[in-house]
Amino acid sequence: MPTPSPRPLLMDCDTGIDDAVALLYLCRSDGADLRAVTTVAGNTTAERAARNTLQVLETAGRTRIPVAAGAAATLRGDTHPEAGFVHGEGGLGGVTLPEPAAAPDPRHAVDLIIDTARQAGGDLHILATAPLTNLALALREEPRLPELVPHVTVMGGAVHHPGNISPVAEANIGHDPEAALEVLTAGWDLTLVPLDVTMRENLTEEHRQRLLACGNPVGRLAGEILDFYFAFHEETALPFRGSACHDPLAAGIALGEVAPTTAPRLAVTVDTADGAARGALVADTRGIHRGYPELPGANATVVLETDGTFPELLVERLCQARK
């Protein structure tokens, strides 16, 4: 059988540690044709996230991919604290990298999203691993975007799992609920990768030591930045030293390299009211005891389970020699 062509991708992110590991994974994946990266305020500022992205891409030897900074605040003008307690000062676990040789693309992230979608001729796949402000603004600027982009994968939300910025809200959805609502209900083919599944796929200290020892700069960088991330997870979320695979798992699903074992079609929306449930992903799971039959109004494929083997794939991919 002929080898499938690499999948054209645009990644919209807020480059902290897990975004960086996802970027490194994409750069090492033959199935990914990474056309552009856009950044938004989230784990750090949009501008710092763009700088982090350029540094990560340079480590991977991918200096020609355009990177543009975007929204500095939410749709309603809110700003939120940077997540230094999760991702370290600057967003990359406190690891110091050389100043990137490349400069950010002068376009706003919204313009780069629209331009890349138009140039891809209907083949672009968007992977969003951050608050969805840039995508919502792009939809407002170009209402035909769902026709130009055949598929969108979003790392975000929590269905049965607790939230991570409130009892019910996950960060990427909860930091800009209005934007998330616009993106999730825009009518395009959408896959959601929520905490329910990302918290099941865990990197361990054994994985990190393999990354540090693998002898290439991509694996070494991943191992170095994960140190801070592991400490956070051990203190707050996991009973061992390790981390969830939030953004890397979403990247694997976007590429088709991870096959979900449970991924029902569900109707999803977002709570945008100013109350205790603000930012919660509201998913219609009333068919849970009947195997999640597709109910009226279903607008997203929601990945709830995978087979638990992704961390091994991730480490192998990051440790392989560059082709």
pLDDT single digits (tens) 138-157: 999 999 999 999 999 999 99
What is the reported pLDDT for 81?
A: 80
CA dist., res. 217 & res. 100, Å (int): 15
- pLDDT (0 to 100) of residue 206: 98
Nearest to 56 by CA among 244, 190, 197, 248: 248
What is the spatial distance between Cα 82 and Cα 142, in angstroms, rounded to a whole number? 29
Tokens of 119: 């140039």
The Cα-based distances of 190 to 47, 127, 150, 308 in angstroms read: 27, 10, 9, 22
For residue 1, what pLDDT is reported?
A: 47
Q: Dihedrals φ, ψ of 143, to 5°?
A: -60, -20
| Per-residue confidence (pLDDT) for residue 3, from 0 to 100 | 60
**Positions in the chain whose pLDDT score sits under 50:** 1
The per-residue DSSP string of 75-136 comes to TTS------HHHH-GGGTTT---PPPSSPPPSS-HHHHHHHHHHHTTT--EEEE-S-SHHHH
Q: Does this model's pTM top 0.95?
A: yes
The predicted pLDDT at position 66 comes to 98
Give first-to-last CA distance, the chain, whole Å: 22
Q: What pLDDT score does 5 carry?
A: 87
In this predicted structure, what is the pLDDT of residue 239? 96
Predicted pLDDT at 2: 55
CB atoms within 10 A of CB 133: 29
* 3-state DSSP assignment of residue 14: coil
Annotated catalytic residues are 246
